[in-house]
């Protein structure tokens, strides 16, 4: 009962604070609703960025990956810091100069309306079919496990997932659809503090348990017992081999932190460039500490459970139940619930934005007023939330959620990143090149990962079986060597798509150079310390890799 009261108390507190902080925000206009009135400051941007990114699919998924492969999976966290620095220095100044509400909005100016619409549809498809359901399902697994919903309500595990999915989905939709970006951002900032505090407590209590009350002794025990788990450079059979940092990994990070609407929308809402850059860099610095929350607990779980868990993704929930004192369970569940809501309502809010600005206004009602755009965006958000709530429980057998999410996202992430990079770095590449780049990028990735890759892997394993190879380690190596890693495929297609677009631009260039105009919606004077701070963050990341190499 105390756990439930603590959970409800903290959750209601966040809702009340968010209401009072946003009740005077003008949300009848698209800027007011979609971008919080272009009034977000550095602290709010950083907190919202971190909470939008850090949710159960990452906390549970990455800790499950570290349970299996150790510290090498921290690349998803540490390299993100460098991508955020690049975004602050290169992309954000250009976004704010153009007064963008959505990333595809730039593509309409640089190429044409069709390119913008195609990109928005790609974003919306990925959000509706993959991202929103995965967030709901992984969050429901965590909440159901922490509160033991099947036993509490006397229902089956499947029924408990449905209950949690709809509970999370309805509350998240209320935040995102009826509150706008500022309500999302403020609640994110409050939960960010709780999540960082609660997230740090898990490895602390875990190390205290291992070290019999001594954290350093606990850390020494696991590093001594499992030195192979503390290597920063992943091997060929690890989820992220070290060399992929220099192929597709950085591209994935740049897409996510620099062009993904659900993330960059926080920075687009900055009151000026200085606040946006400070927010991104503050978030990137905290991101370096991310492995303490999303990697180290998985290694601690490996030690405590002696590597005997059947499902690696259960490592984190089981560790929480084992090491966290009962008095903290309700609070941490509330914070985790906030993280789940954050990711869900952030994606939903971005979907509403994309639909309202890039689809409804552009193709359904060109004469729509600001109020009408927001109204129909909200209706679309409700429909999208309901669709996601129906799909979420159906992905129970998707395998490793984190790996599944990253690979599927490749369908649209690299093509979109390609046309944005070419759009900003060239002046004469025409709209037809962007359309071809989008379509070819999506189709080639689908053919590669869902047709060619399974064929080559099955063929290689069949040949291994014919040779009498049965050793699990040998078979795993044969499997990964049968076809390029999906991050390598992304890098190959990125280069190929750029080459195709440049070739088209050479053969049939635009009639005139593209020149970006300054809309003067916000001040774009950069923060005077942005380059020094960014360089410092990059050196810290490199130092971490060198230390753990």
- pLDDT value at position 303? 93
**pLDDT at 491 > cutoff 90:** yes
Domains contained in the chain, number: 1
417 lies in some domain: no
210 lies in some domain: yes
DSSP-derived letter for residue 346 is H
Range of the domain at 61: 33-402+529-548
CB 18 within 8 A of CB 47: no
- pLDDT value at position 27? 47
CA distance 7 to 331: 5
Which residues, 6 or more positions from 53, have their beta carbon under 8 angstroms from its beta carbon?
Answer: 80, 256, 263, 343
Rank 100-114, 120-134, 316-330, 498-512 by mean pLDDT and report only the highest: 498-512
Locate tokens 């037809």: which residue?
A: 432
How much is the average pLDDT of 79-87?
Answer: 93
488 lies in some domain: no
CA distance 86 to 66: 27
Using CA atoms, how far residue 504 sits from 440, 490, 510, in Å, is: 13, 21, 10
Which pTM value belongs to this model? 0.81
CB 36 within 8 A of CB 269: yes
Confidence of residue 127 (pLDDT cuts 50, 70, 90): confident
- The CATH number given to whatever domain includes residue 127 is 1.20.1730.10
How much is the average pLDDT of 172-195?
Answer: 63
CA distance 331 to 510: 57
CA distance 152 to 160: 10
83 lies in some domain: yes
Locate tokens 């290689």: which residue?
A: 460
Instruction: Please give the torsion angle defined by the CA atoms of residues 10, 262, 170 and 172, in that order, rounded to the nearest 10 degrees.
Output: 10
CA distance 241 to 269: 36
Tell me which of 539 and 235 has the higher pLDDT.
539
Confidence of residue 148 (pLDDT cuts 50, 70, 90): confident
How much is the average pLDDT of 15-43?
Answer: 58
Q: What is the pLDDT of residues 366-381, one digit of tens each?
A: 887 877 887 787 788 8
Burial of 47: CB neighbours in 10 Å, binned 0-12, 13-18, 19+: buried
CB 48 within 8 A of CB 189: yes
Confidence of residue 402 (pLDDT cuts 50, 70, 90): low
264 lies in some domain: yes
**pLDDT at 157 > cutoff 70:** yes
Alpha helices in 362-511 (DSSP H): 370-391, 401-425, 431-447, 453-466, 472-481, 486-507
434 lies in some domain: no
Which residues, 6 or more positions from 158, have their beta carbon under 8 angstroms from its beta carbon?
Answer: 393, 396
């Amino acid at each position: 009962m105390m756990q439930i009261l603590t959970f409800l108390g903290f959750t209601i507190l966040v809702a009340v604070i968010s209401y009072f902080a946003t009740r005077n925000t003008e949300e009848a206009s698209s800027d007011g609703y979609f971008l919080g009135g272009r009034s977000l400051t550095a602290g709010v941007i950083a907190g919202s960025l971190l909470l939008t990114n850090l949710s159960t699919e990452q906390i549970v998924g990455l800790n499950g990956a570290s349970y299996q492969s150790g510290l090498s999976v921290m690349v998803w966290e540490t390299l993100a810091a460098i991508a955020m620095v690049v975004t602050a220095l290169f992309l954000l100044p250009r976004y704010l100069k153009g007064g963008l509400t959505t990333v595809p909005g730039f593509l309409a100016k640089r190429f044409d309306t069709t390119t913008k619409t195609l990109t928005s549809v790609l974003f919306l498809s990925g959000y509706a079919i993959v991202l929103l359901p995965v967030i709901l399902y992984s969050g429901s697994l965590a909440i159901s496990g922490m509160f033991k919903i099947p036993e509490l309500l006397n229902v089956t595990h499947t029924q408990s997932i449905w209950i949690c999915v709809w509970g999370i989905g309805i509350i998240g939709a209320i935040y995102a659809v009826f509150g706008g970006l500022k309500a999302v951002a403020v609640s994110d900032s409050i939960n960010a503090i709780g999540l960082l505090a609660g997230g740090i407590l898990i490895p602390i209590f875990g190390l205290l348990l291992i070290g019999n009350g001594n954290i350093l002794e606990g850390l020494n025990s696991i590093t001594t017992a499992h030195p192979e788990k503390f290597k920063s450079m992943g091997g060929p059979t690890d989820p992220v081999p070290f060399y992929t940092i220099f192929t597709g990994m950085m591209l994935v990070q740049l897409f996510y932190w620099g062009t993904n609407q659900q993330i960059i929308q926080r920075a687009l809402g900055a009151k000026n460039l200085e606040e946006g850059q400070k927010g991104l860099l503050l978030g990137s610095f905290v991101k370096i500490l991310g492995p303490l929350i999303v990697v180290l607990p998985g290694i601690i779980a490996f030690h405590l459970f002696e590597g005997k868990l059947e499902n690696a993704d259960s490592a984190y929930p089981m560790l929480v139940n084992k090491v966290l004192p009962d008095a903290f369970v309700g609070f941490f569940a509330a914070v985790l619930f906030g993280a789940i809501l954050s990711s869900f309502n952030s994606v939903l809010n971005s979907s509403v934005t994309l639909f309202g600005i890039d689809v409804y206004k552009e193709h359904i009602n060109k004469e729509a007023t600001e109020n009408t755009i927001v109204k129909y965006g909200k209706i679309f958000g409700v429909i999208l939330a309901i669709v996601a709530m129906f799909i979420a429980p159906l992905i129970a057998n998707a395998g490793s959620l984190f790996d599944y999410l990253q690979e599927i996202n490749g369908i649209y992430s690299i093509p979109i990143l390609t046309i944005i990079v070419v759009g900003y770095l060239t002046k004469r590449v025409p709209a037809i090149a962007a359309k071809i780049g989008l379509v070819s990028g999506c189709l080639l990735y689908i053919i590669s990962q869902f047709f060619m890759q399974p064929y080559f892997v099955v063929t290689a394993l069949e040949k291994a079986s014919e040779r009498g190879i049965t050793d699990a380690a040998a078979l795993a190596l044969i499997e990964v060597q049968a076809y390029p890693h999906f991050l390598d495929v992304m890098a190959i297609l990125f280069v190929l798509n750029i080459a195709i677009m440049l070739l088209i631009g050479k053969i049939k260039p635009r009639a005139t150079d593209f020149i970006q105009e300054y809309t003067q919606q916000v001040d774009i004077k950069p923060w005077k310390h942005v380059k020094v701070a960014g360089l410092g963050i990059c050196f810290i990341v490199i130092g971490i890799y060198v230390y753990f190499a």
